[in-house]
Amino acid sequence: MKVICTSPSFAKYDAAPINTLQQHGFELITLPADAPLSALEPHLAETVAMIVAFTDVNEALLAQAPQLKIVCKHGVGVDNINLDATRARGIYVTNVPDANKHAVADFAFALILNSARQITQAAIETRAGNWPRIFATDVYGKTLGIIGLGNIGKQVALRAKGFNMRVIAFDFYPDEKFAAEHGIEFVSLDQLTENSDFITLHKPLTDKTQNLFDAARIKRMKKSAFLINASRGGIVNEQDLYQALLDNVIAGAAADVFEQEPLAEHPLFTLSNFIPTSHIAGYTDGAISAIGERCVAQIVQCIKQGERPTNVMNGLD
């Protein structure tokens, strides 16, 4: 029983997930994150489970994996996995929705602080021998707009309260109870866009969220506002964002995610009011260990115990 893993961070800090697989009789096959289908092919016939980061789990791959029972996303977003094709084959698709919520929330708030105080720009100029007097903006007491008040968005909101921020939120499925308990106001997307000093995105990439922030929506933001994306590339139209930042339509932006990854260059990288990072928001020792353990637990649930895994994402009963 082979388990193919293409997540480079799986069991990076703790061998417990590997040990658990071995104790249950699984053979772990570790391949690079960008391994092509040809590298997977020698193992697919005997593969019963996959743990993936960004591998394209498509019909061509599934056709060569007759014993495959479960595909575990080593993280949250499952947009690289064909949900319809897996469902038709009776293959579970799972994710780990909350194991890295604290890590991503910390990172998103770090990007908010970095954007407001221009820490990256100050570091670059100081290292270059300058002594910049950068006059930045406050975070304390400002309005934070959270799009997606789910596991991660809620944690960002709790952090914002420590900065005495007014928190407003938009969600397709609002958790009114949580909002009421923590003084968060649900508003329309237009109201959030127009009234927030900082907007942070925490939604998956879907038909509803594709290009959610295009030129028209960005123009509705305050000229002094900042846009933070630590969710998925494609939610923000990158060309429109580039033009908006170039024209100072908004004060700045930061992104940990892009439409195409990895990236060696991008027009946004040339702008001083844009902070790019390399999809690392969830990469902490604690988060990575927890994600690996929960992926393995769902594999054991499915294959060894014959149970429905905990976090099924493709609607399979």
Give the active site residues.
Answer: 232, 261, 279
Neighbours of 216 (CB within 10 A): 11
Helix (H) or strand (E) holding 250: none
| Alpha carbons 195 and 101: distance in angstroms, whole number | 26
* Cβ 220 vs Cβ 193: under 8 Å: yes
At 317, list the tokens. Answer: 């009963």
Dihedrals φ, ψ of 199, to 5°? -120, 125
Q: 3-state class of 268 per DSSP?
A: helix
| Alpha carbons 179 and 162: distance in angstroms, whole number | 16
Q: Which residues of 242-260 are buried (b: 16+ CB within 10 A; e: fewer)?
A: bebbeeebbbbbbbbbbbe
* Cβ 160 vs Cβ 144: under 8 Å: yes
- Partner residues linked to 255 by β-bridges: 229, 276
Distant-in-sequence, close-in-space partners of 270: CB < 8 Å, separation ≥ 6: none
Rg of the chain (C-alpha set): 21
Q: 3-state class of 86 per DSSP?
A: helix
* Cβ 147 vs Cβ 193: under 8 Å: no
At 30, list the tokens. Answer: 């570790």
At 179, list the tokens. Answer: 């909002």
| Alpha carbons 226 and 293: distance in angstroms, whole number | 36
